[in-house]
Amino acid sequence: MTISVGDTMPAENLKYTDEQGIKDVNMQQYLKDKKVVLFSVPGAFTPTCSAKHLPGFVESYKDLLDLGVDEIICIAVNDAFVMKAWEKDQNAKGKVTLLSDGNGDYSSALGLSFDGSKFGLGTRSQRFAMIIDNCVVTHLAIEEAGDFKVSSVESILEILKNN
C-alpha cells in the first residue's frame, strides 16, 4: 500500500556514511519535530537525477529554508558510499542530506518502489517528493514513469508558498 497524505512515515532505517563509517538513521526519530522536504530519485549519478532533480534542490535550498523547511533529504536505492560520492559530486553537503536506501527497503515500506530489472537496475525507488511535518506526510507528489514535473523543486516551492 502506498503512503498517503496524513500517514506517519515508517520507522525503518536509512544509512549515511561519515568519517567513522556507515551509520543508521531511524526515520521516525530523525523526522521528529522537523518540517522536511524528502525527495527520491531512481539512482545517484543517473541523467535526470544528476542534471536536474538533485541540483534543483541544492540550488534552491535557501529558498526552501526561508519557507520554513528545516531540512531537505534525498534518498536513492544506492549504497551509502555512492550517496557520499554523489553528495561531493553535486556540492550538496550542508544543503541536501543524502541518505541511502541500499536494498530498497524504505522505498518498499512507502509503497513507492518499482522493478527496473528490464533496464538492469533491479528494484528502485520511484521519483517522488513529499513534505513531512513531525513524521506526518502533508504533501506527496509521485511522478509518472519517465516524468519529472511534480517532484521538482519548483513544484515543491509552489506548494510551500501557497500553504
Q: In what order do the strands lie in the sheet with 71-76?
A: 21-26, 13-18, 97-100, 71-76, 35-41, 128-133, 136-142
Question: CB-side exposure of 149: number of CA atoms within 13 Å?
Answer: 5
**49 is an active site residue:** yes
Q: What is the rounded distance in angstroms from the CA atom of residue 142 to the CA atom of residue 126?
A: 7
Residues 6+ apart with CB under 8 A from 93: 87
Cα distance between residue 129 and residue 149, in whole Å: 10
According to DSSP, the residues that pair with 99 across neighbouring strands are: 75
Catalytic residue among 41, 49, 83, 92: 49
Q: Please list the active-site residues.
A: 49
